[in-house]
Amino acid sequence: MTDALKTFLTDLDLDIRAQGDWGQVADYIPELGRIDPAQFGIAVALPGGGMVSAGQARQRFSIQSVSKVFSLACVLGRIGEQIWTRVGREPSGQRFDSILALEHENGRPRNPFINAGALVTTDELLTGRAPKETLAETLGFLRAAAEDDDIHIDKAVARSEAATGHRNAALAHYLKSCDNLRNPPEITLGTYVHQCAIEMTCEQLARAGRVIAQLPGAPRMLTPLKARRISALMMMCGHYDGSGDFAFRVGLPAKSGVGGGILLIAPGQASIAIWSPGLDGYGNSRMGSHAAERLAHHMGWSVFG
C-alpha cells in the first residue's frame, strides 16, 4: 500500500503545482503575509509507524489554529469535562475571529476552535502556571505525540501577531467583561499568539495526529473517548464557517490554520497533514482542502462509511 500511496501523493503534488490556483496568504499577520503562496506539502502517517509524504513535507510552517486541537487535549487532560462550563461545542457558522455570537451568548464561545474559544482554553491552561510553563505543556504534548523534540515557536510570527491582533484583543477583553477570562487579557493573548506560532513540518504534524487517530504504535496519550470527542469537534468546527462544506467534500475530522496547515484524522487508519499557505475566503487552505478531498476519495477514507 505504501508504494501505491507514494505514487498517488507524488502525482497529486505535481497536479496541484500545475493548477496553481493558490489563494491568498494570511496577510493580517504581517509575518505570514510575506510567505509565497505557491507551496505544497503532504504527509500521511500510517498504523505501525509508516510515513509517506510528497512535496514540501519537511518544510516548517506556522501551525496557527491547528495548535488549538492540542491545547484542547491538554485542557481535557487537566480538568476534563469542566471546560464545557466555559466554552460550548457547537459549530459557530461565523468567521474564526467573529465577536457576534459572543455577545449573543453572554461571553461563552461556541466552541474551542474559534479564536474566542481558544482564548478560553489557553486561559484555563494558564491557571496556576506562568505563560512559559503553559507553552511548555502544549509544546511538550506535541513533541511527545510526534516523538520529536525539534518543534519550536517562531517568535517573529508571535511578535507580528501580537502587534496587529486587535480583533483578538477585543475578544479577550469582551470575555473578561463577561467574567470568562481569569487572567489579564494581555497575559492570555500573549500566550495564545505564541501557541499559534508553533512551527512544524507536515511529517511532524502527521505524526502528532496519530494520538488522535489512535493509530496502532502511536504514543497512548489520549483515551479512546477523548480522541473521539476531539475528532467530533474537528468535524463540526475545524474549518470555521466552512466546516459543513469540508465535511461534505472530505468526510474526515480536520482542523485548519491560517498558516495554511490542515490536520486530518482517519480514525484507526491514518493521520494526515497538508500544507499550502494560500487561503480561501473562509481562511482555510485552498489547495490543502482540494488535496484532502482527492486523497480521501482515492483511499476511501471517510467516517461516514
Q: Any idea which residues carry the catalytic annotation?
A: 65, 68, 192, 240, 258
Kindly state whether residue 168 participates in binding ligand GLU, applying the rule CB under 6 A.
Answer: yes
Kindly state whether residue 188 participates in binding ligand GLU, applying the rule CB under 6 A.
Answer: no
- Grid cell listed for 9: 501523493
Gap between the Cα atoms of 86 and 109, Å rounded: 8
Amino acid identity for residue 62 in this structure: S
- Per-residue x/- mask for ligand GLU, residues 79 to 98, rule CB under 6 A? -----------------xx-
Judged by CB under 6 A, the number of residues near ligand GLU is: 11
What is the smallest separation between the CB atom of 96 and ligand GLU, expressed in angstroms? 5
Q: Which of residues 273-292 bind ligand GLU (CB under 6 A)?
A: 283
Kindly state whether residue 35 participates in binding ligand GLU, applying the rule CB under 6 A.
Answer: no
Q: Which of 196, 198, 208, 211 is close enough to bind ligand GLU by CB under 6 A?
A: 196
Q: Which of residues 109-128 bind ligand GLU (CB under 6 A)?
A: 115
Kindly state whether residue 64 participates in binding ligand GLU, applying the rule CB under 6 A.
Answer: yes
Consecutive H or E run containing 74: helix 67-79
Where helices occur in the chain by DSSP H, the ranges are: 2-19, 30-33, 67-79, 100-104, 115-125, 131-146, 155-164, 166-177, 185-196, 202-213, 224-237, 243-250, 286-299
Strand ranges across the sheet with 254-256? 51-55, 41-45, 270-275, 261-266, 254-256
- Select 79 or 169, whichever has its Cβ closest to ligand GLU: 169
What is the smallest separation between the CB atom of 115 and ligand GLU, expressed in angstroms? 5
- Select 13 or 97, whichever has its Cβ closest to ligand GLU: 97
Query: Parallel, antiparallel, or unpaired for β 152-153 and 61-62?
Result: unpaired
Taking a C-beta distance cutoff of 8 angstroms, is the pair 91, 111 a contact? yes
In sequence order, the β-bridge partners of residue 279 are 24, 285
Kindly state whether residue 258 participates in binding ligand GLU, applying the rule CB under 6 A.
Answer: yes
Query: What residues line the site for ligand GLU (CB under 6 A)?
Result: 64-65, 96-97, 115, 161, 168, 196, 257-258, 283
